[in-house]
Amino acid sequence: MKALILDGDGRSHIGEVPDPVAGEGEVLVAMRCSGICGSDLVYYHMSSDQLDRMGNRIPCHEPSGVVVDIGTGVTSLQPGDRVSVYHYFSCGKCRECRRGQMQWCAQTRGLGGPIQGSAADLMVVPERNAMKLPDSLSFVGGALIACGAGTSFSAMNKLQPSTRDTLLVLGLGPVGLCGVAMGKALGARVVAVGRRQPRLQLASLFGADVVIDIAQTENVPKAIREACKAPTLVYETSSAPQARQWAVDTCARGGKICTVAGRGEPGWPAGPIVGKEITLQGSFVLPVWMVFDLIKFLVEKDLKLDRMVTHRFPIDRADEALALFETKECGKVVIEWE
């Protein structure tokens, strides 16, 4: 099969690797869409030695596709089923797995990290990780469920935006854009802050009431206050220290901030968080049980997240997809198969 293979230090190529085979309790999925995520760039820039130690050179973790074969013992899926793949594999037996928190399992391994990612024609996944897609959701939607939309949906479940709230979204990559779309669908007034023109335009497309261009704004906190006085809710997706400061400076007293950005220094400014009694909460992807709620939400709200995609590449140009996404001068970038 064809696959995108990382060479190390920001280099990659398209190569041929052996087809995987479904074993007991596993299904073989033919890819139809694989999204490019910001965290894929971490592996893209690893050295060759680091990739060798990790044991995998095929990136990406946002897969959707069609089941083409099943291993022994598989009962819930059959060839022809359309699926989105939950991208953390786990033991399936511990307390966290039994609670549906596979991402917290002590043995959890992520697609595109320690194990083969979705930038390949085929992949083998455990039966429990393949989540059936309704016909009303596209394969692009299925890929977004696997990470970007899933991450934002979990964060929105923590923030609980409603018609009473103003939601400030800091960072307008695909995860932030999903937050804009979901915040609007839940009734909040949304103020979106970013710096890349394609993404600012997409924030408007997904219903942001106010869009603030950092590059054209001398005083961003002032612009936020003029737009909404003080947001009751803040969704921080950028990891930028400056964005964290803006979140705390502008958040309403007693408000809530949810961050999905695990990288970046320095840490959060503690003084205003304490003084304004702000609730600061982290959110890490989404638990597998929440995928069912997310699928229902996307269908009921008719959220056409496909509109986020600005560039589509076939697998034999997947190296170009990765290089383009690194520029950030784009919306969502996906690899697609016919």
Tell how far CA 326 is from the center of its chain: 15
Q: Is pLDDT at 81 greater than 80 in this prediction?
A: yes
The percentage of the chain sitting over the pLDDT mark of 90, rounded to a whole number, equals 96
Reference 82, options 136, 150, 151; nearest CA is 136
Is a pLDDT exceeding 70 seen at residue 327?
yes
The mean pLDDT of the chain is 96
Domain ranges for the chain: 2-147+286-336, 151-282
Q: Mean per-residue pLDDT for 135-150?
A: 96
- The fold adopted by the segment(s) 151-282 is Rossmann fold (3.40.50)
For residue 266, what pLDDT band results from cuts at 50, 70 and 90? confident
Residue type, 63: P
Q: Please give the distance of CA 264 from its chain centroid, rounded to a whole number.
A: 18
Q: Is the pLDDT of residue 265 over 70?
A: no
Cβ atoms < 10 Å from Cβ of 296:
11
Q: For residue 230, how far is the Cα from the chain centroid?
A: 27
Is 2-147+286-336 CATH 3.90.180.10? yes
Q: Does the structure show a pLDDT above 80 at 227?
A: yes
